[in-house]
Every structure is written in C-alpha cells, then in structure tokens.
Chains A and B, each alone.
Chain A
Amino acid sequence: MQPSSSRPKREGSPWTGLWAVFFKEMADHLSSTRMRILEVLILLSAVGAIYAGAQTLRQTISEDPFLLLRVFTAAQDPLPSFVAFLSFFLPLAAIALGFDAINGEYSRNTLSRILAQPIYRDALLWGKFLAGLATLALILLALFLLVVGLGLIFLGVPPSSEEVARALLFLLATLAYTGVWLGIALVASVLFRSAATSALAAIAVWLFFALFWGIIAQLLAQAVAPFDPFDPQSELRQTEALLAFSRLSPNTLYAEAIQALLNPGVRSLGPVLISQLEGALLGAPLPLGQSFLLAWPQLTGLIALTLLLFALAYVLFQRREVRA
C-alpha cells in the first residue's frame, strides 16, 4: 500500500446497519432451540434454589433486616444458593449464545454476502455482541423478577428501598460478569473456524477459572511470597499475593462484588488487621454508598475485561480474510 499524505478518512458511520444486525441476531437467539434449553435449565435451578432458601429463611424472618438479599444468598444442602447457581450457569449461557457468532457465518457461507452489503465489519460484530448481551439481560431480568416475586410469596415481607437498590446493583454486576463470558465466546468464535472447537475452547477457559485457577493462584502466591514462620509479615504478604492472583479470574471478581453488594455487613474484601477494627461496630451494616464503593473496583474490573475481550475479538476479526 502506498503511503499517500492526503488519505481521506473512511466514509460514513461504522454503525450503519448495526440495528439491522442486532434485531436479526436477537430474533435468532430468542427463537433458537438452545435458548429453550437454557431457559428450562435456569428456571428449574432458580425455583429450586429459592424454595430451599426460603425454607431456611422462614425461621429467621423476624431477625433479619435484609430479607430480600438473603433470598439470593441463602443455601440449603444439597442445593446451592441462587447466586451460586447464577455464577455457574450464566457463563455457560453466554458461551452457548456466542461460540458460533462469527465462525457460524463462515460455515454457512453467509459472511461474504453480508459484508458485501453497505455496512462495516464493526456493525456486524457489535450487533452480534449487543444482541447476545441483550438476550442474556432479558433472561437475567426475567429470572430476577421471578425470584423476587417468589421470595415475596414464600416470605411475605416487602423489601425496603435500599434492598431493591442493592438487588439492582447486583443485577448490573451479574450482567457485567456475563459480558465477560460472552466476550470470551466471541473471541473463540473469531479464532476458531470450527464451531465445535470454539465451544470447547470457551468451555475450557470456563473450567480453567472455575476449577484450576484457585489452585494455581495458591501455588503462585507461595512462589512469589514464601511463608516464613519467623516473620508474621510474610503471612500477610502471602495472603495479599493470593488475593491479587485470584482476582485475575472473573469468577473471583464477581464473587467479591456480589459479596459486598448483597451482604451489607461486609466491610472489606481483603485481609483486615486487628488494629483496623478498633472502634468498629462489628456486624453493623454499611450504607449502600459504602458497599458500592467497596465493590467498585471489582465492577469496573469486570466491565473493563468485557471491553478488552471485545476489542480483541474486533482486532482479530478486522484482519480476518473474508474467504474461508
């Protein structure tokens, strides 16, 4: 390409056709069989979790000022809590919606036909990403309302405005977390030509963070900050190193964010020294603003990770040859 000094800018808006792509993809998602399967799975798990949670909560109703939030977090063996269900299922749902976003267009031979229309590649990728995110937000909102409604029926106590605000922030954090996994699926769909490989790769990443990252973070922390029995500071250093490593995982970020948002009693997400607790009223709830501040770095981390993954998919896709 010859370097010309007066190269005009690319004409028109990169968003041309974005909404056409968005609505088409959204319609595809909502009518697809895989969506039906996901809906059934998520619905069953939500109802199960809430029912079990409500059973335990009934005994403590009069003592707890944040009953609605407990509905999300209460667990009863053998069923995990609603939050635990979400952090387990939503990555799978996001991967299911995103793993064949781009390679599916290749395998159906539709990509060159679509890109021959007057749109930029930006619109296609953004449209697909936003449609996936909107679909997931729709499931999430439905699920959330279902759970809140069921909680009301089972427990019979209306939530306070602060509880509702916390619950909505929790919803936002969950959406950001889902966005990360949608981003991972999107990157996989650009990287791998075969949809099966792409799905497998995205699930491998999910398994890696869900199962192995905790162990690896522990090993890394031990290597970086070895524990010295004669130096009490070294223990703190190791704990902090472990925390830093495990926060590289979106799962940890999400878990910490919702811990701060759903449990007003949580004052710190890291190690707390005795000296820092001086004068503190233990167990007294933090105001909403303070809890939000506590979860702020985790929230921004999740959103930044989503954007980073999308940018990666974008760069990879822009350089891809149209021809399969």
Chain B
Amino acid sequence: MVIETQGLTKRYGKVVAVDNLELRIEAGEVYGLLGPNGSGKTTTILMLLGLTEPSAGNVRVLGLDPAREPLSLKRQVGYLPDSVGFYGEMTAWENLAYIARLNGLPQALAKARIEQVLERMGLAEVAQRPVSAFSRGMRQRLGLAEVLLKEPKVVILDEPTLGLDPEAAQEFLQMIRGLKAEGITVLLSSHLLHQVQAICDRVGLFHKGKLVLEGRVEELAQRVLGGAYRIRLEATPLEGLAEQLQALPEVSRVQADAQGLRLEARQDIRPQVARAVLEAGAALQSLLLERPSLDEVYARYFQEVRHAA
C-alpha cells in the first residue's frame, strides 16, 4: 500500500473540509480523486504531503508519516499544485536547477536530469527562455518536468488539466499515463470527470469532504447505472421505431430525442437492433454503444441520494 489514510479529517473552524477519509492506493496505480470544486480534494492532497496538519486521523505515504518524516517523504513524492507558478524572471532551466539544489542533487547529476526531463516534456528548445513567456500548457509541462526531476515513486497532481485546451489536456494526460509504465504511482485530482476517466485505474468520487463512491469506472457505472448497455441509434424515419425496439427481449428502456433513440439494454444487442430497424423499413444511419461516463455516474448517484433523502 503506497498511500493509506485512516479516519483522516480536516476541520477549518466549523467547516469540515475532509471527513473521516479512508483511502488506500496501491503501488503502480493511477488513482483519480474526483469531485466538484471545494469538495476537499486539495486539502486531502496537502495532508498527504504534510503541508497541512490533519485535525484527526492517520496518514502513511510510502510507510512514512508526513508530519514527522517530511523530508524523506518529499524526496520520493512529486507534487504538481493546481495553479503551478514559477519564478517568471528565471529561465526554465534555472527554475529546475533551483529545485534540484533544494533536493540536494549533486551538480553533475542535476544537469543530466534537467536535460533529460526537459527533453522528455518537449521543452528542450525553450530551456533558456524566461518562464514569464511560457503558455499555460508549457508551464504545466515544466511542472511535470520538475516533478520528474527527483525521480519520484509517487506523483500527486492537483487538477493537472485545468486551464489547458482540449488538445493540450489530452497530450498531458498521455504523459501522465506514461508515468504508470515506469511503475510510478499516480494520484490525480480533477473536477473534469470525463477528461480523466480514461487514464484512471480507479477513481474515488468526493462529495462534501466524503469519499462517496470508489472503484473502477466500469464497476461504478455498473453499480450506479444499473449495469445497462446504452445504445444510441440514428435512423429515418423514427416513427413507430421506439415501440418496435421496446418489444425486443433485452431492452429495458427506450428514449427518443431530437436526433435519434437511446436504448438501455441488459446486453450488447446491436445486431438485433440493426435487424429490427431494417425490418421496420427505416434507414439506419448510425449505431453506437456508449461508454458509461463518470459525469453520468456522478449525476445519477446524487440524483438518487437526493431522491432518497
């Protein structure tokens, strides 16, 4: 177990930012800490790093206590804050060199590693430019370069894709995915659920300081969305099609919207659906099996919680 918390709680006055958190993350996992803004993700991360003292509970990261053994912990754990800042008047290289010195890396080793991480993040050409001229995406990559500088065992990323355009975000997520291949354990937080769901092995959904749902994305979808296969189809004409499809044995629900129909079925019955559409004399334009999205899981879960309340 790389990261382990027991009853972790943080109170700011009367506000409970993190409530009795039990988190267990195994070596080599990519774990997504997901939830809306202000749900306690960043506070949790700061407690894992010993940058904020917990009000109650225990934390172990790599078997170390962040409050008592912060130096050996922070030597092995890289952290990329949510709005990462650099010294603007210094070059990318100088910023990294400062961090290398703070980590106590010998000069020759630092030089080699800086070159290596800048190359890897695609920043080698701008290494001698002041960071103030960098775009948001470049800063984010420089942040990841800095994290890799100490060759960490664990990497903690807070909102890594925030403020990046979709292309840069995807590229950045692929870089994070690449860390897993090296055996680095990754914990990332985000409120952009759909963006990160593809790269997370497991996710934990946060709500008001509590971890309300945890598991693999597919598991969660199964649990919350009732194990349904969602099939989207577009066909013309649509009239009468809904009733015919409803009659298929595995279909539990048919919904019509402006473009087409949406089926919920207990199995992947795309061939049967296609046949049914053709038999009804309609032209089939598209037929898609929709992957369950975390946004949907999250929305549906809280819908149910509210209904239950």
Give chain A's interface residues, CB within 8 Å of chain B: 1-2, 7-12, 16-17, 20-21, 23-24, 28, 108-110, 112-120, 321-323
Contact = CB atoms under 8 A, between A and B. Distances in A.
**Dominant SS at the A interface?**
loop
B178 interface: no
A229 B206 CA distance: 78
Nearest to A111: B85
A17 B56 contact: no
A112 B102 contact: no
A176 B188 CA distance: 48
A180 B68 CA distance: 33
A2 B104 contact: no
Interface of B: 42-43, 46, 49, 51-56, 68-75, 77-81, 83-89, 98-99, 101-104, 143, 146
Given A2-B56, A112-B79, A321-B52, A118 B70 contact: yes
Given A108-B85, A110-B87, A118 B72 contact: yes
Nearest first, the 9 closest Cβ-Cβ pairs linking A and B are: A109-B85, A20-B101, A116-B79, A117-B102, A12-B71, A118-B74, A112-B81, A118-B75, A322-B51
A1 B68 CA distance: 13
Contacts of B88: 108
Contacts, number: 89
Contacts of B80: 113
A170 B117 CA distance: 51
B84 A113 contact: yes
Given A20-B98, A113-B84, A322 B52 contact: yes
21 contacts: A9-B68, A10-B68, A11-B68, A11-B69, A16-B104, A17-B102, A20-B102, A108-B88, A109-B84, A109-B85, A112-B46, A113-B79, A113-B146, A116-B51, A116-B77, A118-B75, A119-B102, A321-B52, A322-B52, A323-B42, A323-B52
B81 A117 contact: no
A204 B161 CA distance: 43
Contact of A7 (B54, B68, B71, B87): B68
Given A2-B56, A321-B52, A322-B51, A114 B42 contact: no
Contacts of A113: 79-81, 84-86, 99, 143, 146
Contacts of B43: 323
Contact of A110 (B54, B73, B86): B86
Nearest to B86: A110
Contacts of A323: 42-43, 46, 52
B71 A11 contact: yes
B70 A120 contact: yes
A129 B52 CA distance: 24
Contacts of B103: 117-118
A36 B173 CA distance: 44
A1 B56 contact: yes
A126 to B, nearest CB: 14
Contacts of B98: 20, 24
Contact of B87 (A108, A117, A118): A108
Nearest to A108: B85
A116 B158 CA distance: 13
A137 to B, nearest CB: 23
Contacts of A115: 51
B79 A1 contact: no
A16 B74 CA distance: 12
A116 B71 contact: no
Nearest to A324: B83
Contacts of A21: 102
Given A17-B102, A108-B85, A112-B79, A118 B54 contact: no
